[in-house]
Amino acid sequence: MKFTRRLLPLLAVMQLVWSSSALAENYLSVGYFNGGGDVTAGPGGDIDKLDVRQITHLNYSFGLIYNDEKGETNAALKDAAKLHQIWLSPKVMSDLQKVPQLRQQNPQLKVLLSVGGWGARGFSGTAASPESRAVFIKSAQDVIQQYGLDGIDLDWEYPINGAWGLVDATKADRDNFTALLNELRQALGKEKLLTIAVGANVQSPKEWVDVKAIAPALDYINLMTYDMAYGTQYFNANLYDSKTWPTVAAADKYSADFVVNNYLAAGLKPSQMNLGIGFYGRVPKRATEPGIDWDKADAAKHPVTQPYFGAPERAVFSSFGLDLTKDSYFKYNDIVSKLLNDPQKRFTERWDDDAKVPYLTMKSADGKDLFAISYENPKSVAIKGEYIKSKGLGGAMFWEYGADDNNQLAKQLAETLGIKTKH
């Protein structure tokens, strides 16, 4: 009996160690691949060049929805006979036929079709009634079966909000989305994956999505903890607040940690969340537009910050093919090849030890350091990976695989999370 009593604590410790090790091997790395083209990321990438050995899940992006919204500009989506069904472009269909080849690289790989994306229409109408939801669900089942997929991911940006008026939305979207997901889960059963991507905005877990109601239907939720470089915020995806480059308006004070905590407070379990990591950077809107504190009365007439880029700074980015009047998005591979390796050395690489991300500065005409662009590199990705483990999150999601530089970021993420795939 004495021997047994001594052995039991040892067995308990060994079991705890084994369990921790097992958990470490179960972190997810969900990579979105912009194969079909996206408003913010440009033309679709080449699936034949995709290396999926560092990830656990591939979200092929995007399928779209046949819709009758007035603002739809894609004539192919206006077919009334296919209203509420999933539309796949010829390239998407061709790429999805190559899924078996991807699985040869990584037999454990799970492949999902992601439907939606920024500016994608049709969600509000599709979710509005049992009949329209049934049409969409049957379409999703058909696509999954036809291409041998492991599930479907919905990227509705965003219920109720409607991408700030860009796409159709109603106040009923929140409840309708819950109904759509619950009915999808029932139709798909437990064998197929059902996931969504959700916005970083404070309103998302409070007003746009009923977190507690949808969680049971979902395998996991991808947090889009990036695209924060708006208003008076400098950083695209800072892990924590910066002291060196602070926001002015309180409503702009976003960080990945802030977003995670908002969803936790809304009732989402940590293990069901994947932290979003952007394989790109953004020039902050603060550099090119007045910063508005919308919490203040008559805010538009009294900007709290003024743009600090002049014609010379705009011209530099224009020389790299980026029109700052339209977009501020730079893929990581372009940041490496064009900005970090700029022959004229117009950028200086910096590290913000509070925000835990890199950024670049450039000199103004009077020699002042100007914040130029923030992004991710292997160091910041490793830190985000450690954050995922410390918070007990399910894993990571990243947008998007085609923007990586020789798989540097994906490999770093896999290494930090202990993801080992059998080849």
Do residues 96 and 113 touch, judged by C-beta distance below 8 A? yes
Which two three-digit tokens encode residue 275? Answer: 């932290």
Would you say residue 38 has pLDDT above 70?
no
Is 122 inside any structural domain? Answer: yes
Give pLDDT tens digits for 318-351: 999 999 998 899 999 999 999 999 999 999 999 9
Give pLDDT tens digits for 401-421: 999 999 999 999 999 999 986
Give pLDDT tens digits for 199-244: 999 999 999 999 999 999 999 999 999 999 999 999 999 999 999 9
- Geometric angle at alpha carbon 45, from 318 and 423, rounded to 5°: 135
Report residue 307 CA to chain centroid gap.
Answer: 27
Is 99 inside any structural domain? Answer: yes
Would you say residue 268 has pLDDT above 90?
yes
Is 291 inside any structural domain? Answer: no
Do residues 244 and 354 touch, judged by C-beta distance below 8 A? yes
Is 422 inside any structural domain? Answer: no
Higher pLDDT, 167 or 4: 167
Report residue 238 CA to chain centroid gap.
Answer: 14
Higher pLDDT, 8 or 289: 289
Q: Return the percentage of the chain with pLDDT > 70, whole number.
A: 92
Would you say residue 15 has pLDDT above 90?
no
Give pLDDT tens digits for 63-116: 999 999 999 999 999 999 999 999 999 999 999 999 999 999 999 999 999 999
Do residues 385 and 339 touch, judged by C-beta distance below 8 A? no
Is 200 inside any structural domain? Answer: yes
Would you say residue 309 has pLDDT above 50?
yes
CA atoms within 13 A of residue 65's CA, in its CB half-sphere? 31
Q: What length does the chain have?
A: 423
Question: What pLDDT does 42 receive?
Answer: 61
- Geometric angle at alpha carbon 263, from 230 and 36, rounded to 5°: 60
Stated as kind and residue range, the H or E segment containing 360 is: strand 357-363
User: pLDDT band at residue 127, thresholds of 50, 70 and 90?
Assistant: very high
Is 334 inside any structural domain? Answer: no
CATH of the domain at 118: 3.20.20.80
CB atoms within 10 A of CB 421: 16
Q: What residues have CB less than 8 Å from 23, skipping those under 6 apart? A: none
Which of these, 12, 5, 9, 40, lies nearest to 328 by C-alpha position? 40
Question: What pLDDT does 357 receive?
Answer: 98
Give pLDDT tens digits for 148-189: 999 999 999 999 999 999 999 999 999 999 999 999 999 999
The whole-angstrom separation of Cα 20 and Cα 28 is: 15
Is 413 inside any structural domain? Answer: yes
The total number of structural domains in the chain stands at 1
Q: By residue range, what is the domain housing residue 174? A: 26-224+269-279+376-417
Question: What pLDDT does 41 receive?
Answer: 57
Q: pTM of the predicted model, to two decimals?
A: 0.92
Is 262 inside any structural domain? Answer: no
Q: Return the percentage of the chain with pLDDT > 90, whole number.
A: 88
Would you say residue 254 has pLDDT above 80?
yes
Would you say residue 19 has pLDDT above 90?
no
Question: What pLDDT does 298 receive?
Answer: 86
Higher pLDDT, 4 or 356: 356
